[in-house]
Structure formats: structure tokens, C-alpha cells
Amino acid sequence: MAHPISAFQAAYISIEVLIALVSVPGNILVIWAVKMNQALRDATFCFIVSLAVADVAVGALVIPLAIIINIGPQTEFYTCLMVACPVLILTESSILALLAIAVDRYLRVKIPVRYKSVVTPRRAAVAIACCWIVSLLVGLTPMFGWNNLNKMRRTQELNSSHTEFVITCQFETVISMEYMVYFNFFVWVLPPLLLMLFIYLEVFNLIRKQLNKKVSSSSNDPQKYYGKELKIAKSLALVLFLFALSWLPLHVLNCITLFCPSCQTPHILTYIAIFLTHGNSAMNPIVYAFRIKKFRTAFLQIWNQYFCCKTNKNATSTTTAETGN
């Protein structure tokens, strides 16, 4: 049996539930907006939908599992491992979706004339599928053996079978810090973030060069075309910045745990880092609403049509014809 929930745990659970109640409806709204709005059907927004799906899963799945882990129930080792792995899968899927978005924006400004022939809906779907497959492989690696089972057996001098090995379920109890730092962070988190930083710097550089030279593009108005690209790139770069700001503190704490075992990290810092990682899933819909005009228009249409019982006769035509951002 788990210990009774303390006041601190109750506060933690309340904050997590609040994050979930913001994250799930907000990201469902993003998916809904893309589904109903023809102006949001290009590859970039398909990748945004993939990111939104991961964020919905964080609110609907990861946060409840995190609450369970925080309570610390008595479970079999691999049961606890299954509870801990979803956050690893969804984190990686978010990173790869952000990377796909960055590459997509780069292609839009690098090859504007050939973009639609290169980035087809089929290729975008294949890219999304590959992102999720890689995420599953990375996130489930602890299930394949890179975990703390043998370490715990040696420590507790147990020789029983796996099914008899019962533990207090905690993330660091089952997930190896070597895996979290050397494999997860140093291979699958930090390099993609650095690559995306380089890509966005190149995107901004290309856009400014094109605006200065006023070269021809697929649009009749190069200034308008690259002006729109600059606005969207800034908004998506902000999404990337918020993701890095939310996730890097927890990974830094993991590095401290691995490289300085004697260092005592205040529990409050760990909880703040966890709140940042989960709260990131609630941030993106807010960024889209305030920074991307197409999303703002679609959100307002959904609100008026389905929640305020208003039927805006011009909403559909306006939204479909919307070319601004």
C-alpha cells in the first residue's frame, strides 16, 4: 500500500491537474482548427498537429501517470517501467515534430518555387510516421534492458524472478540516469535542439537576404511572401524556445544527479522542472492564438459556431480565403 497523500503531494497533484485541464482542450482545439480550416492544410500545420497530439497525450496520459509515480505505489519493476516510458516517447515525438517543422520552414524559403513539388502531403505523412516510430524506439529503450533492474538486484541482493521483484514505483528507481543523460539527452535532445537553432538562424538569414534583394518567388509579391514567412518563422522559433526553456532544466538536473552523486538538489527545484516540462504542452496553443493569424481566425470561428451558438456566415469563406498569418 502507498503512503497517505501529504499536503505537499496534494498541492503537486492540483497543479498537475490544472496543467492537464489547460493542455488537453487547448491542443484539441489546435487539431480541430487544422481539420476544419482549409488554410491550415499545408505540411507545416500537419507537423503542428503531430506536436499537438503529443501534447494532448501529455495532459491525458503522462500527467496522470506522473501523479501515480509521485504517490509511489508498490508495483512490479516492469509495470513501473511501463508507467515511466510514455513521457520519454512523447518528449522525443515533440522534439522530432519541432525538427520537422524547422526543416519545412527552411525548404519554404530556400526553394519556394519547388517547395510544393518537394514537400508533398504523402512525404509529410511519411515524415510524421517516421518521427513517431523513432520516438517509440528511443522511449522504449529502457524496456529493452537499459534500466536499473540489475543495479537494484545487486543493491538489494535479490535473486528472485522479475515477477516477484516488487518496488516502490519512482521514475529514478527504474530509469537509468546513464540512459537519460548519455542516450536521451546527449543524443536525442541536445543535438536536435542545436540543429534547430542553426536551421532557424539560416531561415532568418535567407528571408532577410530575399527581402533585401526582392528576388522572384512563387508569389507575385516577394515582399509579401517572405514577410509572411518571417512572421511564421518567428512564431515557430518561439515555440522551439519555449520547449528548450521548459525541458533543459530537468535535463540539467539529471546531469547533476549522474555526474555529482553527492550533490543534494532541492526537491522544490525538481518539482519546478517537472512543472515546466508538463506546462510546455499547454503553451503552444496560446502561442498559435496570439502569433498566427490563421489559427486565431479558426479558433474564433470554432468558439462562435460551437460554443457561443453563433453561426458566422462569412467565417468559412473568410477563413478559407485567408492567406495572411
Domain ranges of the chain: 7-306
C-alpha separations of 54 from 19, 65, 115 in Å: 15, 15, 27
Strand spans (E) along 113-220: 166-168
**pTM (two decimals):** 0.88
Asked if residue 59 lies in contact with residue 282, where contact means CB atoms within 8 angstroms, the answer is yes
Pairing of strands 74-76, 166-168: antiparallel
Asked if residue 249 lies in contact with residue 276, where contact means CB atoms within 8 angstroms, the answer is yes
> Rounded to whole angstroms, how far apart are CA atoms 16 and 310?
33
Residue 198: count of CB within 10 angstroms of its CB: 12
- Percent helix, percent strand, percent coil in the chain, to nearest 5: 80, 0, 20
Task: Record the cell numbers describing residue 313, joined without a space.
Answer: 456566415
Return the pLDDT at 9: 86
Return the pLDDT at 164: 58
Q: Which helix (H) or strand (E) holds 306?
A: none
User: Which of 92, 70, 81, 72 lies closest to 2 in space, CA to CA?
Assistant: 72
What number of CA atoms fall less than 13 Å from residue 320's CA on the CB side?
7
Return the pLDDT at 96: 95
Residue 282: count of CB within 10 angstroms of its CB: 21
Residue ranges for the chain with pLDDT beneath 70:
1-4, 157-164, 214-221, 309-325
User: Which of 232, 282, 250, 243 lies closest to 97 in space, CA to CA?
Assistant: 243
CATH number assigned to the domain covering 7-306: 1.20.1070.10
Q: Which residues contact 277 (CB under 8 A, 6 or more apart)?
A: 87, 91, 246, 247, 250
Return the pLDDT at 2: 47
End-to-end CA distance of the chain: 54
